[in-house]
Amino acid sequence: MSRLRVGLAGVGRFGQLHAAVLSHLADVTLAAIAEPCAERLQQVADRYAVERRYASTQELFNDDSLDAFILVTPDELHAAQGLDAVATGKPVFIEKPLAASYQQALALQQAAEASGSLLQTGLILRYELQHAQLQQELASRRFGQLVSIRVKRNLSASWFGSVADRAHTVFESLIHDLDLLLWLSGSRATRVMAMERRLGSHRSPEGCFALIELASGCIAIAETSWFVPPQAPANVITESWAGTIDAELAVVGTLQSAQLRLLDSPLKIWGQDRQLCPDAQLWPLHQGQIRGALERELSDFVAAARSGIHSSTACLSQAIEGLQLGEAIVEASRTGRAVHIVPPEDDRANPMG
């Protein structure tokens, strides 16, 4: 079987992790990179011996020698670049969020269907083994009826400045947890109430808190914020950046309950300047290679691209529902009113009703 030639768009912090994974995946060649920062493009392309180098994504998409594309570009560019990518008819992976809005995501889905492009988006927690085990337990119905799900994601305060004026925090951080709610519950959201906490004049609030009613009757509580102090144990550690994701998940059913904390790594390192709790689940670096959920996610996309069969793990329709839910949370926090969510199949043109 010939190697899948992949073109990667964007090699910022997270894009560099994708490059590291693609460089060692079996039967994959990281064949081209597009990156507007010339210095960064040269650095990453030299590191992985990538000869085809482009300053724009359009140049990348015009390269007929490539078999598939992966986009790890700024969130606000996903929709426009994604439309250009799927227009090639080739498999396309777009990091989370799929687009900046629900309507943009629907347009991407429809464009991919029209061109025959296999479209997949980043849902990395579905590939983290503890979350996957929990989902299997829930799918087996051993929890009985779901009563409630609570998700919390508090991130390093030092990271907030880089995202504060790009998009609402719901789409920067909480989008992961909204996908978890839909995936774990197997139910859609019907009604949302929300509040936010603003301490500055940025586009994004520093905190957002939502109460969500699901069609199954389950009640979900979701919160996200950017207040982890620099003294906190770092659990997200790469060669170029480090910080803390303090994430929790609690599920209550009529027969069973479960808890999952991302920060509780069994490995703890106390140093002179900081404490480390290295994560071994999401994208751990071991012997120069990125492993964990990110590797499994990209391997899944590669398998889908080869077979032409959509991933059974990364559900595109639920990713789009997650964006619709995110918009409802933003609207509810803005107006102070409950927002009822219209099912996508009932009204694609009016997601809020």
CATH class of the domain whose range is 4-121 = alpha beta
Q: What is the pLDDT of residue 5?
A: 98
Q: What is the pLDDT of residue 347?
A: 47
Is the predicted pLDDT of residue 265 greater than 90, yes or no? no
Give the tens place of pLDDT for each residue, 71-130. 999 999 999 999 999 999 999 999 999 999 999 999 999 999 999 999 999 999 999 999
Closest residue by Cα to residue 167 from 93, 105, 224, 97:
97
Give the tens place of pLDDT for each residue, 304-323. 999 999 999 999 999 999 99
Q: What is the pLDDT of residue 1?
A: 64
Closest residue by Cα to residue 102 from 338, 334, 318, 340:
318
Q: What is the pLDDT of residue 349?
A: 41
| DSSP secondary structure of 79-135 | HHHHHHHHTTTS-EEEPSSSSSSHHHHHHHHHHHHHHT--EEE--GGGGSHHHHHHH
Is the predicted pLDDT of residue 267 greater than 80, yes or no? yes
CATH architecture of residue range(s) 125-287 = 2-Layer Sandwich (3.30)
**Tokens standing for residue 295:** 């590797």
Q: pLDDT above 90 covers what percent of the chain?
A: 84
Region 136-161: mean pLDDT is 96
Give the tens place of pLDDT for each residue, 268-301. 898 888 888 888 899 988 888 899 999 999 999 9
How many other CB atoms are found less than 10 A from the CB of residue 205? 22
Q: pLDDT above 70 covers what percent of the chain?
A: 97
Torsion angle of the four alpha carbons 122, 124, 125, 130, in this order, in degrees rounded to the nearest 10: 150
Q: What is the pLDDT of residue 104?
A: 97
Q: Band the pLDDT of 350: cuts 50, 70, 90.
A: very low
Q: What is the pLDDT of residue 332?
A: 98
Give the tens place of pLDDT for each residue, 154-195. 999 999 998 899 889 999 999 999 999 999 999 999 999 999
Is the predicted pLDDT of residue 331 greater than 60, yes or no? yes
Distance CA 164, CA 172 (A): 9
Give the tens place of pLDDT for each residue, 217-262. 999 999 999 999 998 999 988 877 889 999 999 999 999 999 999 8
Helix (H) or strand (E) holding 55: none
Question: Is the separation of the CB atoms in 138 and 250 below 8 Å?
Answer: no
Give the start-to-end residue ranges of the domains of the chain: 4-121, 125-287
Rounded to the nearest integer, the mean pLDDT of the chain is 94
Region 259-268: mean pLDDT is 86
Is the predicted pLDDT of residue 348 greater than 60, yes or no? no
